[in-house]
Structure 1
Amino acid sequence: MKEFLKYTLASVVGNLLGLFLVITFGMGGIAFLVVVSASRGTQTTLRDKSVLVLDLSVGIADTAPQPTPSIAIGQTLRDDRSRFLPLRVVLETIERASKDDKIVGLYLEGGSGTTPTGFGNLKEVRRALEGFKESGKTIIAYDTDWTEREYYLGSVADEIIIHPMGTVEMSGFSSQTVFLAGALERFGIGVQVTRVGQYKSAVEPFLRQEMSPENRQQMQQLLGDLWGEFTGAIASSRSLTTAQLQQIVNQDGFLMAADAKDREMVDQIAHRDEVAAQLRELTGEKEEGRQPFRRVGIQEYSRTPEVKGSWAGNPNSRNIIAVVYADGEIVDGRGGIGQVGGDRFSEELRRLRDNDRVKGIVLRVNSPGGSATASEVIAREVQLTREEKPIIVSMGNAAASGGYWIAMGSDRILAEPTTVTGSIGVFGLLFNAQDIANQNGITWDGVKTGPFADLNSISRPKTDQELEKVQQMVDLIYQRFVSSVAQLRDLPQEEVLEMSQGRVWSGVQAEALGLVDQLGGLQDAIAAVAEKAELGDDWKLAEYPRIPSFEERLLESLRTESTPTDPLTSELLKLYHEFSVLRHLNDPRGIYTRLPFNLQID
C-alpha cells in the first residue's frame, strides 16, 4: 500500500506541477522541460573493456507504455529511466555488442520482483543472449532471488551467482481466471452470451464460477507446452535433465542458496560487492571507481556513436522496411494508447502501402484480439498490402483470435514456441442493468417502430428471438473466420474446423497444425522481408505507429498504469484490470474474437 500511495502522490504532484508551469510560465515552462528531456538523449561515450548490463527487473515490450503528462514531468525532473525497454533495441544492441571489441562481457543484473516480460519476448531475448555467448564473450548473472522468468534468461550465463540469503524459484507455471458471475448476479447485472466453439472460454467468467472441462483441458496443454520449452532450455544450458528440474518442482518449489548450488542450479554464492570485484577483474580495473565496475546499460549503449543508427540497417538507403506494431486490444474506431484501433491501424497500413520507399512490412502482432469488426477491417488492409509488397507477420507473446485474424492474410507467419495463438472462435456479450436499476427505483418505458429497434438497450434482458438473431450473426462471423483461415492458410476446411472451436495453441502446436509457417522472432521476420523484397543489404528500418514525443505526451492527457510491488495493491489492481477490460469491448454489434478472459500465467 505504501507503493500505491507513493505512485498516487507522484501523480498528484506531477499534475499540480504541470498546471503550475503552464499557468506561471506558459509555454516557456513546458519548453524548459522539453530541453531537459532532450538533454537526456545525448550520446554516451563508450570506454574500452566495458561490460554491457541488462537489468532483469526491467520489462521488455514490443512498444513501451507511454506515461501520462504528470508522470512524464516527474520522470524528466528526476531523470528516471523507463521500466520498459523496446524489444528490438534489446535484440539489436546485444547482437552489436557481441561484435564490439570495446565490450568484454555481459552482466545480467537481477532486481526486486519479477520481470513483466512476456514469454514470447523472453524467448527472443534468450536467443540473443545465446548468440552473444557463442561469440566467445563472458556472461555473468547475479540476483538475490531468482524468479523463474529471470532464471530462464540467467541460465544462459557462463556463471550464475546468488546472494547468500537468496533463493531460486522453480515451482512451475499456473494460470488463474477471475470469475465474475457471482458478483454480477449479486449486483443485479444481467449477462447473456452467444458463442461458437466449445473452447471459447472468454465468456466463462460472466457465466460460471469455475473453469469448464474444455477450458481446463486447453489451458493445461498450453501451460504444458510453455513449461516444456522453459525446462528444456534451462536443462540444456545447465547440463541438467528435465527430470531433475521437475523433481525440484515437485519436492521443493524454492531452493535456498546452498541447496541451489548443490543441485547445480547456480555456480557461486556471493555478495553483490564480490560480484562487482569479479567484473572489475574482467574489465581490467584495479580498484573501484565512481561505479562498481566499468559498465554501460542497454539504453546507454544504444546511444553510443558506435551503435546509434547501426541497428536500423543502412542509414543511407532509400529503401524502407516498415515494422508495424499491433500491440494491445483490438478495438473499433481509432483506439488509444495500448490499443489497436481498427480505423487508425488500417490508415497506417494504407499509407505504408502507398509509400513507394516502403519495400516491405513486418507486422508485429502482440494482441489477445478484441472487436470482430475491427479485426476484419485490419485483415482486409493486410491482404490488399500483400498484393503490392511483402508483408510478413511476427507473433510476439500472444496473437490469438482477432490477433490471428489480422495475421492470417500475410505472406508468412512466424511465431515463438511460447506464443499463444489460435483461439479461432467468436462470442457475443450482452449486458443489462435491469435488476440493479429496479432495486434502486429506476425503471424504463418507451415506444418503438420495430421488434428489434432497442436490441442494444441495457434496460432489459434480450428475448429468445433477439438472442437467436445475435447467434446468427455470431455463427456467420465464425463461418467467415474458419473459411478465411482455410483459404488463406491453404488448409482443408474440415481440419480448420477441428482445430478451431475457440481453442488456444502454443507456437509449437500452431506450427504443427499449419496455423504458422515457422518458429522464429522479430529479427527473422525482418530478414525474411528483406529477402522476399530482394533488397540485399540495401534497406533501413522504420517503426510505426510513431511514438509520441515528450512534448506531445506532456500536452495530451493519456492513460497509464503504475505497477506497485506490494502484494495487496497488486492483487487489487489485477481485479481492477479484470473489470477495466470491459471498457475495451466496444464492437458495434457486441461480437468479439478474443482470447480467454485476460489470460494470466504465473
Structure 2
Amino acid sequence: MEILARMKTILSILWKVLSTTRVVIANIFFLVMVIILLGVFFTDTEESLRQNSVLLVNPAGTLVEQRSAPEAAEALLKKMGRETARADETKTQDVIDAIRKAATDPKILALVIDSRDLQGCDTTKILDIGKAILDFKETGKPVLAHSMVYTQGQYLLSSYADTISVNPLGGVLITGFGMYQTYFKGLLDKTRINFHVFRVGDYKTAVEPFVRESMSEEAREAGREWLNGLWQAYLDEASKNRGVSPSDIVSYVENIDTRLAATGGDAARLAVNAQLVDEIKTSTQFDQLLAGKTGKRIEDLHRVGFQDYLAMSPSAEPSGKEVIGIIRARGAILPGKQPENRTGSESIAELFQKARQDPTILAVVLRLDSPGGSAAASEEIHHEIARTQEAGKPVVVSMGSVAASGAYWIASGANRIVAAPTTLTGSIGIFAAFPTFEDTAMNLGITTDGIGTTGLADLGNPLRPLSAQSERAIGQLLRFGYDLFINRVASGRRLPAAEVESSAQGRVFLGREAHGRKLIDQLGNLDDALRTAASLAGLTVVNSKELRREPSPHEKILQAFFSSAQVLFTQQSPAVSRLLNMVETQAQVLESFADPNHIYARSMECEGSLF
C-alpha cells in the first residue's frame, strides 16, 4: 500500500509538472502572438529621410508582380534592431516606384544597385526596372553598382549603372538561358501509376513530364525559338548598357575557361578585361568611390533601402477623381478564392466587382503574370472582363513576364492587349491529366471489384481503370474546350478562326512575334497599358489605384505569426535557398492541378524552367 501511495504521489507530481508546462507553453505562445499583433498594428515605424541620402536598390529573392503576403513581422523586428532574414520575393513595382520618387527627391544624391540577393533572371521585370533607372540617370545623379559576384540577372540589373565595380575575389557569371524540366515517366512506370493524358495541340507539351523521359522534338523546336529570342534580348540590352557588342558577351561566355586560364583564374580581372565591369574594388574602396561621385564625405552619406524609402514617403492618393483600376493576377489559375501567389477565379471576380461598383474607376488594367491553369477558372475570369465592359468600363490587359495558355484565354476578351517584347504568351491549347492506381494497388495485393448501374459508375475511382467509353468522352470534352478557346480568341481579337488556328496548337511566342501574329495590340509595359486605358476612357491625365484582395483577420494573424517564425528561425545560404525554391516550384506545379474537371489551359514549359 505504501508503494502504491508513493507511485500515486509521483504520478500526481508528474501530472502537475506536465500540466504546468502545457500552460506555460500555451501562455508563451499567446504572449508571442500578442507582441506580434501589437507590433504589427501599433508600432510606429515612421522615419524621416535624412539629407545626403543614397537610394539602395537591393531587391531580394525573385521579382514578382505581387508579394505572397505582407511581411509585417519582419518590419517589426527590424524596428526592434533585430537582424531579419532575406525576403524571398520583391514586388517589382515597389522598386520602380522608389526609383521614380528618388529621381526628383533633393535629399537623394545617388543610386546604388546592390543586387547580391536577387535570384533568377526575369528579363522582362529587370527591363522594366532598367527603364526607371535610365530615367533616373537623366537627372544627372550618379548610378553605381558593386557586388562580390554578379550572376546573370544581377548583372543585367547592374548593367544600367554608370560605373560597375566588383570585389577582387569576385567576377561575372553569365550562362545563357536554359529550359530543363523534370520528367516523371520512369517513376510512374516503377510505381505502376497510370497517368491518363489527353491534349489538343501538337505543341501543347505541358503534359510531357508525365508521359516521356525526355523532351520531344516539338518541344525542342518551340523552346529553342523563344529561348533564343529571350537570350538575344538579354544580349542586346546588356551590350547596349555597357557599350560592347552582343558577340563580345557571347565570346566571354563561350570561352570562359580559356579566358580564365589567361588571367590565372582571376575572374575579376577577366570581367574588367571584357569591359563587363569598370573597376575592381573592395567595399571600403567602393564607399570612397561613392563619396567622390557625390562630393560628400563617407560618414556624411546615408544609405536607405528602397523599401524603407517607400515607407518614409508613402504614395499620395490620386489628385483626380477619375482613375484607372489596376488588378494584378499572379501565378497558376485555379477555381475559387486563392492567395496572392495564385490567380483564383473568385478572388479576381471580387476585384472586378469592386471596379464596377466604384464610380471613380473608369477603366481597368489587368496585369497578368501567369502560365495558365484551370480552363473553367480562365473562362470565369474572361466572363468578368465581359461584365466589366458591359458596365461601360474598358479593360486593358498588361502582360508581365508570362501570360500563356489560360492567361491568354483571359486576355483575349480585353479591349486591348499590351505585352513586353520578352513576354511569353500564346500556348493556345488544352489538356487533361489525372492518375489512376489500379496497377499500383494490384502490385501491393489490393484489388477492387463491385457492380454499377452504368458503365460510368466507377468513373473517378482511382483504383479502377479508365474505360474506353470514358476516354472517348474526355476526348470530346477536350475538343469542345479547345474549340471554345479558339472561338474566344477569334472573337476577342477579331480574327478568322482559321488564322487563330495557325497560331494555336499550343505554341509559345515572345511578345514581339505575338504582335506580328495579331495576338496582341502593342508592345509596351504597364505604363503603356495605363495610357491606353486612359485613352479608351477619355481621360487626359493618367491616375491609377491598385485593387487588392483584403486578407481576413484570420489570415492576417497567420501571416504575421508565420512571417515572424521565418524571420526568427530561417537563415539559409543562397545555394540552399535556390534548391528549396526549385523543389517548391515542382511541388506547386503538382499541387496546382486542382481543377475538379481535370481540364487545363496551362503552359508548364513557361514556368520554373529558366536558369
TM-score by length of 2: 0.87
Distance in 2, matches of 1:575 and 1:115, equals 15
Describe how 1:150-299 pairs up with structure 2 within 5 A: 150-252=154-256, 256-288=267-299, 293-299=301-307
Distance in 1, matches of 2:131 and 2:157, equals 9
Choose 523-532 or 179-188, whichever is displaced more.
Answer: 523-532
Distance in 1, matches of 2:79 and 2:50, equals 26
- Deviation, 1:532, is 2.4
The answer for the alignment partner of 2:113 in structure 1 is: 108
Describe how 1:13-28 pairs up with structure 2 within 5 A: 23-24=26-27
Q: What are the Cα deviations for residues 87-112 of structure 1, in whole angstroms up to 9, with x where unaligned?
A: 22221221121122222211001325
- Deviation, 1:238, is 1.2
Distance in 1, matches of 2:339 and 2:601, equals 19
Alignment partner of 1:303: what SS? helix
Q: What are the Cα deviations for residues 288-308 of structure 1, in whole angstroms up to 9, with x where unaligned?
A: 36xxx421211111122xx32
Alignment partner of 1:399: what SS? strand
Q: What are the Cα deviations for residues 226-249 of structure 1, in whole angstroms up to 9, with x where unaligned?
A: 111100011111111111111112
- The one-letter amino acid paired with 1:120 is T
Q: For residues 573 and 43 of structure 1, do their structure 2 counterparts lie closer, same or farther at Cα, with a shift above 3 Å needed? A: closer
Q: For residues 539 and 303 of structure 1, do their structure 2 counterparts lie closer, same or farther at Cα, with a shift above 3 Å needed? A: same
Distance in 2, matches of 1:51 and 1:365, equals 33
The answer for the alignment partner of 1:600 in structure 2 is: 609
Distance in 1, matches of 2:109 and 2:285, equals 19
Alignment partner of 2:442: what SS? helix
Match status 1:332 vs 2:335: yes
Distance in 2, matches of 1:563 and 1:527, equals 43
- The one-letter amino acid paired with 2:377 is A
The answer for the alignment partner of 2:527 in structure 1 is: 523
The answer for the alignment partner of 1:87 in structure 2 is: 92
- Deviation, 1:391, is 1.4
Alignment partner of 1:198: what SS? coil
The answer for the alignment partner of 1:51 in structure 2 is: 54
- Deviation, 1:500, is 0.7
The answer for the alignment partner of 1:578 in structure 2 is: 586
Q: What root-mean-square deviation, in Å, do the aligned CA atoms of Structure 1 and Structure 2 show? A: 2.9
Describe how 1:131-142 pairs up with structure 2 within 5 A: 131-142=135-146
CA contact (8 A) 2:458 2:464 kept: no
Alignment partner of 2:111: what SS? strand
- Deviation, 1:194, is 0.8
- The one-letter amino acid paired with 2:321 is R
Distance in 2, matches of 1:406 and 1:481, equals 10
The answer for the alignment partner of 1:16 in structure 2 is: none
CA contact (8 A) 1:359 1:533 kept: yes
CA contact (8 A) 1:563 1:570 kept: no
Match status 1:374 vs 2:377: yes
Distance in 1, matches of 2:295 and 2:71, equals 43
Q: For residues 43 and 502 of structure 1, do their structure 2 counterparts lie closer, same or farther at Cα, with a shift above 3 Å needed? A: same
The answer for the alignment partner of 1:7 in structure 2 is: none
Distance in 2, matches of 1:41 and 1:447, equals 67
- Runs of 5+ in structure 1 lacking a partner? 1-18
Alignment partner of 1:288: what SS? helix
Choose 536-545 or 522-531, whichever is displaced more.
Answer: 536-545
The answer for the alignment partner of 1:12 in structure 2 is: none
Q: What are the Cα deviations for residues 555-600 of structure 1, in whole angstroms up to 9, with x where unaligned?
A: 7998999895464674466245424422211222211000135441
Distance in 1, matches of 2:177 and 2:424, equals 15
- Structure of greater Rg: 2
1:397 maps to which of 401, 405, 409: 401
The answer for the alignment partner of 1:300 in structure 2 is: 308
Distance in 2, matches of 1:76 and 1:444, equals 61
Q: For residues 67 and 455 of structure 1, do their structure 2 counterparts lie closer, same or farther at Cα, with a shift above 3 Å needed? A: farther
CA contact (8 A) 2:426 2:514 kept: yes
Distance in 2, matches of 1:313 and 1:26, equals 42
Q: What are the Cα deviations for residues 187-216 of structure 1, in whole angstroms up to 9, with x where unaligned?
A: 121111110111101110000000000000
- Deviation, 1:76, is 8.2
Alignment partner of 1:476: what SS? helix
Distance in 2, matches of 1:40 and 1:550, equals 20
TM-score by length of 1: 0.88
Q: For residues 566 and 130 of structure 1, do their structure 2 counterparts lie closer, same or farther at Cα, with a shift above 3 Å needed? A: closer
Choose 539-548 or 463-472, whichever is displaced more.
Answer: 539-548
- Deviation, 1:531, is 3.0
- The one-letter amino acid paired with 1:309 is S
Distance in 2, matches of 1:538 and 1:206, equals 47
Distance in 2, matches of 1:107 and 1:425, equals 44
1:456 maps to which of 460, 463, 467: 460
- Deviation, 1:533, is 2.0
- The one-letter amino acid paired with 1:601 is L
- Deviation, 1:508, is 1.4
Match status 1:309 vs 2:315: yes
- Runs of 5+ in structure 2 lacking a partner? 1-21, 261-266
Describe how 1:474-493 pairs up with structure 2 within 5 A: 474-493=478-497
Distance in 2, matches of 1:477 and 1:84, equals 35
Distance in 2, matches of 1:286 and 1:477, equals 66
- Deviation, 1:67, is 7.0
Describe how 1:500-511 pairs up with structure 2 within 5 A: 500-511=504-515
CA contact (8 A) 2:45 2:79 kept: no
Q: What are the Cα deviations for residues 347-384 of structure 1, in whole angstroms up to 9, with x where unaligned?
A: 32123212223222111111111111111011111122
- Deviation, 1:60, is 2.7
Match status 1:534 vs 2:538: yes
- The one-letter amino acid paired with 1:581 is V
1:30 maps to which of 33, 38, 51: 33
Q: For residues 465 and 366 of structure 1, do their structure 2 counterparts lie closer, same or farther at Cα, with a shift above 3 Å needed? A: same
Distance in 2, matches of 1:586 and 1:170, equals 37
The answer for the alignment partner of 1:345 in structure 2 is: 348
Distance in 2, matches of 1:82 and 1:568, equals 14
- Deviation, 1:152, is 0.8
CA contact (8 A) 1:199 1:501 kept: yes
- Deviation, 1:219, is 0.7
Distance in 2, matches of 1:461 and 1:72, equals 53
Query: Identity percentage over the alignment?
Result: 31
Distance in 1, matches of 2:103 and 2:589, equals 41
- The one-letter amino acid paired with 2:137 is K
- Deviation, 1:546, is 3.4
Q: What are the Cα deviations for residues 235-286 of structure 1, in whole angstroms up to 9, with x where unaligned?
A: 1111111111111122117861111111111111100111112223344433
- Deviation, 1:117, is 5.8
- The one-letter amino acid paired with 1:296 is V
- Deviation, 1:328, is 1.1
Distance in 2, matches of 1:219 and 1:565, equals 31
Alignment partner of 1:410: what SS? coil
Q: What are the Cα deviations for residues 436-463 of structure 1, in whole angstroms up to 9, with x where unaligned?
A: 2222232222322222233222112312
Q: For residues 397 and 538 of structure 1, do their structure 2 counterparts lie closer, same or farther at Cα, with a shift above 3 Å needed? A: closer
- Deviation, 1:398, is 0.9
User: Where in structure 1 do 4 or more consecutive aligned residues deviate above 4 Å?
Assistant: 19-22, 25-29, 38-41, 67-77, 547-551, 555-564, 566-570
Distance in 2, matches of 1:267 and 1:109, equals 16
Q: For residues 236 and 251 of structure 1, do their structure 2 counterparts lie closer, same or farther at Cα, with a shift above 3 Å needed? A: same
